Amino acid sequence: MRKARADLSGPVLTIIVTLAVVAAGLIIVGYFWWFAPHASKQAAISVLGEPALQVSYNGTIYTVDSYVTLKNDGNDNVTIQKLVLNGDDGNKYELLPIDPATGSTTTSGIILTKGSKQQITFEIGNLASNPFNNNPSYEGTILTDSGVIPVTLYVVK
Amino acid sequence: MGVAYPYLAILSTVIFVFIVMSVVSVSLWIIYQASNNPLVEGYSSFEWGSGGTATISIVFRLTRGHMVTFERILLSSNYGVLNISGSGTYVFGNSTFRVSYDGFDGKLFPGQEGKVIIEVTNATEAYTSGKIYRSGVFFDGGTLIVSFEP
């Protein structure tokens, strides 16, 4: 009695397995190259070194400058908006970043492109007194459109 | 004539390994980039000299990451903060600050140690014994805060 052969032949099976393996590989590559970066697009900010805080006095008013070097390790641009510091008097002081192109503070923020690093100067002026005089360092928070970054700033004096 | 089964199996294995290794390589590259941020470590010292002079030494070393470029020093004193942007002589208050480099030329490579020597005249007016002064050393890859006590 002859037995009916319903199995696939070896070469056909090999081709199917090969195509399946290649398709699986392409799906993996597609996930990491396309879907994953877009699904988890985010800026990863690193603070390089130790941020510094400098208070200047021109005989009339105080000006506070903060120097922070940031690197964007993520895969999306990020806008650095401001630096918020708690002063000795308990008040919060908002330091705005200085636009390197104009040399003056900007309320629209500084764009840190993906993969780039930049030293950003934050400034606040027209202060009648020095709110950062009692401690060697101050805790601050950098506000970005991708979240907040805690920093410790050391007073240069 | 089709390709025989063993060759197809080898081909599929090679393609699969290639794809997996490509993904692993990309992942390793991202990790390498993230962990390769420059790290500069250092310290400073203050030494009184004769005739009211003093020497401030700031020593730093690039312990991790790619080459960094020295930009400036914000040097604190009783006169305020002096912005030192390179070697040379700076007059600040009633003192003169003579700045020179040792061991580097403005660029710091991985593992390299550099030193900035600042010779101060009329240092007794510029600095007070027992007081702690904090200064900032700026590189294009970060900032180093150093302290010294005359």
Q: Using the beta-carbon criterion (under 8 Å), do B8 and A18 form an inter-chain contact?
A: yes
Distance of CA A44 to the CA centre of its chain: 4
Q: Using the beta-carbon criterion (under 8 Å), do A25 and B37 form an inter-chain contact?
A: no
Query: Residue B63's closest chain A neighbor by CA?
Result: A49
Which residues have a Cβ under 8 Å from the Cβ of B113 and sit 6 or more positions away?
A: B59, B60, B61, B103, B104
B147: pLDDT confidence band, cut at 50, 70 and 90? very high
pLDDT value of position B84 = 95
CA separation for the pair B138, A50 (Å, rounded): 10
Give how far B32 is from chain A: nearest CA, Å: 11
Query: Which one, of A129, A128, A69, A72, lies nearest residue A97 by Cα?
Result: A69
Higher local confidence (pLDDT), B117 or B64:
B117
Q: Using the beta-carbon criterion (under 8 Å), do A157 and B134 form an inter-chain contact?
A: yes
Q: Using the beta-carbon criterion (under 8 Å), do B74 and A18 form an inter-chain contact?
A: no
B91: pLDDT confidence band, cut at 50, 70 and 90? very high
Is the pLDDT score of B125 beyond 80?
Answer: yes
Q: Which of B1, B83, B134, B137 to mutate to test the interface with A (most CBs of A within 10 A)?
A: B134
Q: What is the mean pLDDT of residues B143-150?
A: 95
Q: Using the beta-carbon criterion (under 8 Å), do B22 and A17 form an inter-chain contact?
A: no
pLDDT value of position B21 = 76
Query: Residue B10's closest chain A neighbor by CA?
Result: A18
Distance of CA B135 to the CA centre of its chain: 14
B88-92 β-sheet, strand order: B39-48, B54-64, B113-120, B95-102, B88-92
At B24-72, the pLDDT tens digits run 766 676 677 667 889 999 999 999 999 999 999 999 999 988 899 999 9
Please tell me whether the overall predicted TM-score, pTM, comes out greater than 0.90 for this model: no
Q: Is A8 on the interface with B (CB under 8 A)?
A: no
List of chain B residues whose C-beta atoms are within 8 Å of the C-beta of residue A65: none
Across chain B, mean pLDDT equals: 89
pLDDT value of position B36 = 81
Element (H, E) at B149: none
Show the tokens assigned to A106.
Answer: 């900007």
Question: Does the structure's ipTM exceed the value 0.85?
Answer: no
Q: Using the beta-carbon criterion (under 8 Å), do B145 and A56 form an inter-chain contact?
A: no
Give chain A's residues under pLDDT 70: 1-6, 32, 35-43
